[in-house]
Structure 1
């Protein structure tokens, strides 16, 4: 495994750092441009942030993500190998998702049109071989370790996973910094799974670029955010996480089960599940926008947006650790992944808080009579 890690290291570091720096540099520019054209989201009511905040941060995320992928792939093209077509399919689907989300941010598309666009993007994956072909056989240890789904079921499961998770990730985007932090945690955990195998170079590049982009955006998105990712960013991050989990962690040997990536990506899925069941039990349309998500429930009890985000980041990290353990990742790599993840997220938040401290005008001491 050590040789495999060394093989990936140059491309991973360059791709990650380039995505992080590019998104961090572009986010203020996108925020200023958004204010000029009126692409802002007003706070109040169902939205818990204050004031008018630019909401097309997905453009910065997409630009940094794509630039990092191009440079990383050019540095070590041999890593992509036979998965070049699958990687291009994911990039094309991600571009379509970002565009769909941008239109929704600007003009509020109908749910039917959004869903149709999401299925088209997921269909691009299926048409190019990015599919869930098997699940682990837990029930008959004497039989094959895998249960192959067959083409019709494989297509259906893949479409539902990609579209379902994309919307689940969009649902979790409700507090400043929450979804960008979860994306960073999930992508770094999936990256730790993918780097253990020598033929997962395409997934490694995707996840390194995604982790860097998420952290670069978190630098400006932590509470109080100067820029919101909007549907353009949430659709992009959710789609690439779902696709990369199929490409990098589901199509591998028996050491990695289908449950591992699902557990790593479990928090958005858990939130979507409880929201759907809660609304159905009350006779409410599950697609209705309401403040009954996990982050809303915890925020109301804790009384703090930042504390709520920290709690859910912790939950995501616990789930990611469970997924890494289930995938039989070596303990040293698990510890390293956890430590690096915590350090990077803490650094991004500290930079944002430091910026806020500098921007706060100095207070004059009150005059004494």
Structure 2
């Protein structure tokens, strides 16, 4: 990367920092705040404007360099819609069905207008490459909505969604560099650049204490959209740098947690989109870990998924092994989540907790 290619990255971080500060008083005026409740671990009213600030950072960076994202105007259009949806949800608590419809519209922009969709799943079954002609449009839309909601659902404790996103994006940067696609680094580095100042406020790092900000649904859905946009782009372009199954492993923990929780809700006859306190971070904390310990533990697990993904790509581990390995791990994970409270009681009786 040349000196000038770093400019949009620096602009993204600076603009995000500015908006994080100036949006705080506006958040209270607009009602974009998170009020403590039985489901919340914080004790004060916290602004929910981190997502908007990060989005503005990407917008200004895109104006500085029109190569930040493939089909730049379409990405910004889709991102603006998802951020607006998130802000409305943060303010008015929209219905799950309404959110889902809007998310599919955003996915339609990515697939139908930006022409960024999955064409080939690779040799995941062991019988040759799985090509998706027309089915690829619908499959990609489902994947986009799934990833957006996966990152939305994992945003439960300070630093988790942002930290997990940085792990994924750093892994993407590593894979792009090792595959000689250094010209594509600006986009993931720009998203990292907007996440760093947000995490400084969100985690109250020294110098930022007293200014806690949440990314809100606007932020988690925006980050989810940005990540899935990049992953699809780099797994199915003419010069693909990442195999599709590798992309799945990169975001494996959010996907597994979402799938397991939705399966558990369905088994109980509940809405699969209904919010609850059964996510992995909730389980960690109910097991006796502090919020910070839970954060470190989950980021460590997320890092293991990313390491497996990167190494499998670098050493060309057969896609079949990676696919069936992921399926087996998902089944085991879901079985554990289904019986997690019994497991925790048993572990406590053994004196291990």
TM-score grouping bracket, smaller chain normalisation = 0.7 to 0.9
Alignment correspondent of 1:210: 191
Contact map agreement 1:104 1:231 (CA 8 A) in 2: yes
Say yes or no: does 1:94 pair with 2:79: yes
Alignment correspondent of 1:118: 103
Question: How do 1:140-289 residues align onto structure 2 when only pairs under 5 Å count?
Answer: 140=126, 143=128, 146-151=129-134, 153-197=135-179, 201=183, 203-222=184-203, 226-251=212-237, 256-289=242-275
- Give the SS at the match of 2:275: coil
Contact map agreement 1:257 1:326 (CA 8 A) in 2: no
Alignment correspondent of 1:312: 298
TM-score normalised according to structure 1 size: 0.77
C-alpha distance in structure 2 between counterparts of 1:217 and 1:254, whole Å:
31
Say if 1:200 and 1:129 are closer, same or farther in 2 by CA, change over 3 A. farther
- Higher fraction of strand: 1
RMSD between aligned residues: 2.4
C-alpha distance in structure 2 between counterparts of 1:302 and 1:17, whole Å:
40
Say if 1:10 and 1:198 are closer, same or farther in 2 by CA, change over 3 A. farther
C-alpha distance in structure 1 between counterparts of 2:83 and 2:130, whole Å:
34
Contact map agreement 1:72 1:205 (CA 8 A) in 2: no
C-alpha distance in structure 1 between counterparts of 2:30 and 2:95, whole Å:
22
Work out the number of aligned pairs and report it: 310
CA deviation after TM superposition for structure 1 residue 179, in Å:
0.8
* Aligned structure 1 segments of 4 or more residues deviating by more than 6 angstroms: none
**Superposed CA offset, 1:321-361 (max 9, x none):** 1111122189xxxxxxxxxxxxxxxxxxxxxxxxxxxxxxx
Contact map agreement 1:58 1:232 (CA 8 A) in 2: yes
Decide which of 3, 14, 19 is 2:7's aligned counterpart. Answer: 14
TM-score normalised according to structure 2 size: 0.81
Q: Which runs of 5+ in 2 are unaligned?
A: 317-353
Contact map agreement 2:85 2:102 (CA 8 A) in 1: yes
